[in-house]
Amino acid sequence: MMNKTDDKAWKVLKSEYLSREPWFTVRKEHVQLPNGNEIPDYYILDYPDWVNVIAITKAKQFVLVRQYRHGLGYTSMELCAGVAEKEDPSLEISARRELLEETGYGNGNWSLLTELSVNPGTHTNMTYCFLATDVEKISEQHLEATEDITVHLLTTDQLIELLRKDGIKQAVQAAPLWKYLAENHLIP
Amino acid sequence: MMNKTDDKAWKVLKSEYLSREPWFTVRKEHVQLPNGNEIPDYYILDYPDWVNVIAITKAKQFVLVRQYRHGLGYTSMELCAGVAEKEDPSLEISARRELLEETGYGNGNWSLLTELSVNPGTHTNMTYCFLATDVEKISEQHLEATEDITVHLLTTDQLIELLRKDGIKQAVQAAPLWKYLAENHLIP
């Protein structure tokens, strides 16, 4: 992904961590551009990689979750998503774990659909978006104390209506959903 | 967009700014969930709203830009994008200004295509994605000292190829592009 001979790459003159908390690891960097100009205070957010999943049941229903998001102050319909933990043997295993914990759905056929960044200017991490077809309800939810998540099954028509009215606001989730619908010619 | 009677909304017990720099305004909040559980250190990033634009010429070419992104350490093809300044009379005017400055393209027919969040958990702002058709080259670029941006015209086929290989990594740009291609049935 990196281009080592990148003619536009910035040179880091100084780098210091402002915070190293688990959900807030921030570096302040003094950088120099190829044209010689400098930015003395460029902020970089270090997060672990993230995963999300378009999970579709055998009855062709999309498994979505609804939860509160404190940045926007808004409870939103979303794809199931979470963090790729360092201990996870693969990104797919991270995504399978998140789907099972948040919704109780599992099994099915999995593939990586797309790899995206929430903001390549400020974030070091990527979000890996999976497609899981023929998933089944195989357990109850297993939520953490700080999670308040309800599960919702949507038909393709309901999902398209939700997307069209900007009901899925998280770009890293809207992108793989539109991609899936476009590539499978599911938009009427 | 906000739901005032939201049963999942968190209560803010304490809120303090850690930084108020232009590109790094951060609040640390102690919050309480409806189930009584508390999170003592939840971080919120306050940014102004952002805009981007799918600009298409009369010859049906997509106007893209290529620039270095220091978070990923990567020079990427992107939609023209920028900040909605407080002084701007409208979001469309912000987007028109960014397109003109970064590419020299203007005029055309403009509409709002979708409204997205880069991360509704941590970001307070939205990104407004415009569609501009029949744009024309009407001036030279007017770049800031810290901008190193080249302009690239892509056919629809080239754009689809780029998207399919994850060449547009910024989710808030991939989402409106896939939406545009899906809604207009342009995917072969």
Using CA atoms, how far apart are residues A102 and B1, in angstroms rounded to an integer? 25
Q: pLDDT tens-digit profile of B12-45?
A: 999 999 999 888 999 999 999 998 999 999 999 9
Report the CATH superfamily, name and number, of domain B50-183.
Nucleoside Triphosphate Pyrophosphohydrolase (3.90.79.10)
Determine the Cα–Cα distance for residues A15 and A97; give it in Å rounded to an integer: 35
The CA-to-CA distance between both ends of chain A, in Å, stands at: 35
- Asked whether residue A142 carries a pLDDT value surpassing 70, the answer given is yes
| B70 sits in which H/E element | none
In 3-state terms chain B splits into helix, strand, coil percentages (rounded to 5) of 20, 45, 35
Determine whether the interchain pair B119/A148 forms a contact, defined as Cβ–Cβ distance below 8 Å: no
Contact B29 A166 (CB under 8 A): no
Burial class (CB in 10 A: 0-12, 13-18, 19+), B166: middle
Domain boundaries, chain A: 11-46, 50-183
The pLDDT of B46-61, averaged and rounded, is 97
Predicted local distance difference test score (pLDDT) of residue B179: 98
Inform me whether the pLDDT recorded for B124 exceeds 90: yes
Give the closest of A35, A68, A118 to B148, CB-based: A35
Measure in Å the smallest separation between the Cα of B100 and chain A Cα atoms.
Answer: 21
Please judge whether B145 and A35 are an interchain contact, meaning their C-beta atoms are less than 8 angstroms apart.
yes
The rounded mean pLDDT for chain A is: 94
Q: From the candidates B3, B49, B159, B170, which should be mutated to test the interface with A, based on the most A CB atoms within 10 A?
A: B170
- Tokens 């890293």 belong to residue: A172
Instruction: Give per-residue pLDDT as tens, A65-97.
Output: 999 999 999 999 999 999 999 899 999 999 999
| Ranges assigned E (strand) in chain B | 11-21, 24-32, 38-46, 50-57, 62-69, 74-78, 80-83, 105-106, 109-116, 127-137, 150-154
Chain A residues touching residue B76 (CB < 8 angstroms): 120
Spell out which residues of chain B touch residue A30, defining contact as CB-CB under 8 Å.
none
Per-residue pLDDT tens over the stretch A61-72:
999 999 999 999
pLDDT of residue A5: 58
